[in-house]
Structure 1
Amino acid sequence: MRKDKEIGTDRRADMVKHPLFRETKLVWQCNSARLFQRLAMTLAMVLSLAAQAQSELPRLADGAPDTYVVERGDTLWDISALFLNEPWRWPELWSVNPDVRDPNLIYPGDTLYLRWKDGKPGVYLSSSDRNIGTSDVVRLSPKLRSEPLAAAIPALPREAIDPFIARHRFITQFDLEAMPRIISGYRGRLISGMGDRVYAVGAFTGEQRQFDVVRPAREISHPETGETLGTLLSSVGRVVLSKRALADDEANQFDVLASSEELRVGDVLLPVEDRQLVAQFLPKVPTVDLDPGFMLPLDVGAKQIGALDVVATTYGEVDDVDVGTLLSITKVGEPVTDSISGKRYTVPSENAGTMMLFAVYDRASFGLVLSANQPLSVEDRLVKP
């Protein structure tokens, strides 16, 4: 028996030494390595997808409160910034709340509660939702709110946007000589006011009788190319046509209905527009890639810009942006010289704030600075958030 065992051992030793065995062992090792590599790649992919899914959740702001009582003067953006690093994602935060189907229906005095459900954060409106995470069923009872709808808090600070829209216009091509304009006041006066009479030249042949009186506020130009993007016009009054010219060399007569400042010779007359103000601005991230743009001031000589300031931008309809588009404001880092080697290095750009476009034209637009974490300057860069 022992001899047979020794013979079997010798045979196994000879088999291990056989070239075919060594080749089979090598193939098995290679296949095992490939299998292990595939398993590792699969695990990495799963972890990556999990991390991506996690990153797609709205990111809560540091120190986000568990509760917040809405105050008069708050906006949806202000409240969202308390809870989120990206305030424009508030629909995701509130979409899980059956009691806040329309975020605009939030009123001063309401209490908001931050709760988690199924691994996702949510903001709930009533105290009855305190235990929302313990049950998938939310019972709501009918209730009547006696406050008028106008008392609901707005999405954004309208007092910073509406006056600009009401008092300004923007045109791409401004040719004073070709536009209807005031050439004189009553008895040759250079300035006129409400109740006065003015005379203007131009084609006033249609049914339109009332006209806005505007004058150039500033020319908007691209800071790199110098290309004129358009002219911002400010409204200074309104006039009504009282006597139409009967000949080409005769001026038209107008009566001044209103004026926010004196009307001057050279002021332009444009037909009154029925400019409907947007009821609710809904901030959104651009759906297309954007080349870096520039933020431009509205006041000539202005150097500093802050939160809730209205600014012009070099983005327009040609860039596939529209009303509500959100942009990040970045400050380009100044080159730094290494004191040891003398070599110059570029410092990465820093995020300095957020703005939203509320009026978009062909090659230019106007936006409201919603937040600023440091002083902003003229010609700071604009990029996709």
Structure 2
Amino acid sequence: MRALTVRFALGDVVLGALIGLLAMAPASTVHALELVEDAPELYDVRPGDTLWSIAGRYLRDPWLWPEIWYANDESGNPDLIYPGERLRLVHVEGRPRVVRDTATGASGDMRVVRLSPRVRVSALEAPVPMIPVASIAPFLTQSRVAESDAIKHAPYVVGFADDRTIAAPSDEVFVRRIDTTAVSEFEILRPGDALRDPDTNRILGYETTFVANAVLERVGDPAILRVTRSEREVSIGDRVIPASLEAPLENFFPRPAPAGMRGRILSVMNGVSQIGGYDIVTLNRGSHDRLAPGHVLEVFRGGEPVRDKVRDGGMNWDWKRDGPRTSEFWLGNDYSVKGWSESPTGSSEPIPLHAEIGRDRATYIRPMQRVGLLMVFRSFDRVSFALVLDAKRAMSVGDRIAPPAP
């Protein structure tokens, strides 16, 4: 049986690839380097660091790390940074650069890698990855978005062996229907709601929840599958599709999203309402919109109308006068007298001259403010998954996204 695995080599080649990528990029896509105010002169790399978090200690725009990294000829492989090493901020030809301090490491000792004849020795510590890959590992190869409602017509779980009501690893499940042995490995998914573009109401795809992996035991109607791995119990009605054979993404190359890109956050994984650092979000833009893994976008809040409490009198409430005999008690404070009116012509019970009351709708538009930064790590046709890398304040579904400003 072929094992479905997620492989990562983010720290091994990412810096070199990033440097090459930016070197080939058009000049208009290169942003100006800007150090943060408290950029450290010395920084000791610690376990748990990522290249993104280290870059954020030096740069306002962390994706420009390859622009500031300076490879010493004596520093060994310039594409690898390990916990325990020390970084130093210097200036080379008037430009800020971060170099590996070859004199000492975090412990004050020289970094030594001992070699023996015919023996390959690797570092005791794994190199620092670009991003916290554990946050996105389950989303890299498992299908999470169906691009059409065909998922609803896929073979489905109809029952279980031994009169079970659910199934777990090693259990057998009955599926209608599978007539061929051409595919032997399957994913079991749970269909969800349609993903609709908040601006056009167009259906962009369908949410699916990964349930389990299974292998074919016997074709037929129903066919028999055996569950090999699961994230949740398999239930009747879950859909069955061939396991994804796409190659797992090896590296991420952070770079600004295409100029002019505009979009919104569609949803956030795990059912939370407020979005923070390292949360996974769904965007209403995908490969059809030239959005690809590694693209960095800023998140903005604002643009919605907000009540102006001063203009509409909402701040002038007098609690001593607010009683059943006052208009404010029944109408609230956001009203005004629009004029005077007599009873309609032909009314059988004439109404005396009376005031026409109307409500004021004084509003202002909340200014757009940058509240976070995210990076796309998987793209579908009309939808993408992204990891929130920086959250200056809580974000919400519906917040807007755009490429970083140069």
Specify the SS of the correspondent of 1:376: coil
Which residue of the partner structure matches residue 368 of structure 2? 349
Structure 2: 5+ residue stretches without partners = 1-26, 105-111, 116-120, 314-361
Inter-partner Cα distance in structure 2 for 1:126 and 1:350 = 38
Instruction: Indicate whether 1:308 and 2:278 are aligned.
Output: yes
Give the structure with the larger helix fraction.
1
Equivalent position to 2:386, from 361, 367, 371: 367
Which residue of the partner structure matches residue 225 of structure 2? 254
Provide closer, same or farther for how the CA distance between residues 92 and 291 of structure 1 changes in structure 2, counting only shifts above 3 A.
same
Provide closer, same or farther for how the CA distance between residues 253 and 127 of structure 1 changes in structure 2, counting only shifts above 3 A.
closer
Which residue of the partner structure matches residue 298 of structure 1? 269
Provide closer, same or farther for how the CA distance between residues 214 and 85 of structure 1 changes in structure 2, counting only shifts above 3 A.
same
Deviations 1:297-330 (A, max 9, x none): 2345x32000000010011111111110000001
Instruction: Indicate whether 1:180 and 2:133 are aligned.
Output: no
Inter-partner Cα distance in structure 2 for 1:167 and 1:82 = 33
> How much does 1:236 deviate?
2.0
> How much does 1:276 deviate?
3.1
Which residue of the partner structure matches residue 280 of structure 1? 251
Provide closer, same or farther for how the CA distance between residues 167 and 178 of structure 1 changes in structure 2, counting only shifts above 3 A.
closer
Instruction: Indicate whether 1:326 and 2:326 are aligned.
Output: no
Which moves more between the two structures, 262-271 or 195-204? 195-204
Decide whether the 8 Å contact of 2:72 with 2:78 is kept in 1.
Answer: no
Inter-partner Cα distance in structure 2 for 1:310 and 1:285 = 19
RMSD: 3.0
Decide whether the 8 Å contact of 1:95 with 1:101 is kept in 2.
Answer: no
Which residue of the partner structure matches residue 160 of structure 1? 135
> How much does 1:217 deviate?
4.8
> How much does 1:82 deviate?
0.2
Specify the SS of the correspondent of 2:136: helix
Decide whether the 8 Å contact of 1:94 with 1:100 is kept in 2.
Answer: no
Inter-partner Cα distance in structure 2 for 1:287 and 1:100 = 35
Give the letter for the 1:360 counterpart.
Answer: S
Give the letter for the 1:308 counterpart.
Answer: Y
Provide closer, same or farther for how the CA distance between residues 295 and 254 of structure 1 changes in structure 2, counting only shifts above 3 A.
closer
Decide whether the 8 Å contact of 1:57 with 1:120 is kept in 2.
Answer: no
Which moves more between the two structures, 60-69 or 236-245? 236-245
Inter-partner Cα distance in structure 1 for 2:297 and 2:132 = 17
Inter-partner Cα distance in structure 1 for 2:304 and 2:278 = 26
Which residue of the partner structure matches residue 171 of structure 2? 196
Provide closer, same or farther for how the CA distance between residues 324 and 268 of structure 1 changes in structure 2, counting only shifts above 3 A.
same
Give the letter for the 1:371 counterpart.
Answer: D
Provide closer, same or farther for how the CA distance between residues 295 and 198 of structure 1 changes in structure 2, counting only shifts above 3 A.
closer
> How much does 1:228 deviate?
1.9
Specify the SS of the correspondent of 1:159: helix
Decide whether the 8 Å contact of 1:323 with 1:357 is kept in 2.
Answer: yes
> How much does 1:295 deviate?
4.6
> How much does 1:158 deviate?
0.4
Inter-partner Cα distance in structure 1 for 2:248 and 2:219 = 32
Which residue of the partner structure matches residue 395 of structure 2? 376
- What TM-score does the superposition give when structure 1 sets the normalisation length? 0.74
> How much does 1:175 deviate?
3.3
Provide closer, same or farther for how the CA distance between residues 72 and 286 of structure 1 changes in structure 2, counting only shifts above 3 A.
same
Provide closer, same or farther for how the CA distance between residues 69 and 174 of structure 1 changes in structure 2, counting only shifts above 3 A.
same
> How much does 1:346 deviate?
2.6
- What TM-score does the superposition give when structure 2 sets the normalisation length? 0.70
Provide closer, same or farther for how the CA distance between residues 197 and 128 of structure 1 changes in structure 2, counting only shifts above 3 A.
closer
> How much does 1:148 deviate?
3.1
Which moves more between the two structures, 316-325 or 265-274? 265-274
Which residue of the partner structure matches residue 235 of structure 1? 210
| Higher Rg of the two aligned structures | 1
Decide whether the 8 Å contact of 2:265 with 2:281 is kept in 1.
Answer: no
Provide closer, same or farther for how the CA distance between residues 102 and 291 of structure 1 changes in structure 2, counting only shifts above 3 A.
farther
> How much does 1:128 deviate?
5.4
Matched residues, percent identical? 30
Inter-partner Cα distance in structure 2 for 1:329 and 1:296 = 14
Which residue of the partner structure matches residue 22 of structure 2? none
> How much does 1:261 deviate?
2.5
Could you say which structure has the greater relative contact order, defined with CA pairs below 8 angstroms and 6 or more residues apart?
Answer: 2
> How much does 1:69 deviate?
0.4
Decide whether the 8 Å contact of 2:143 with 2:244 is kept in 1.
Answer: no
Decide whether the 8 Å contact of 2:288 with 2:381 is kept in 1.
Answer: yes
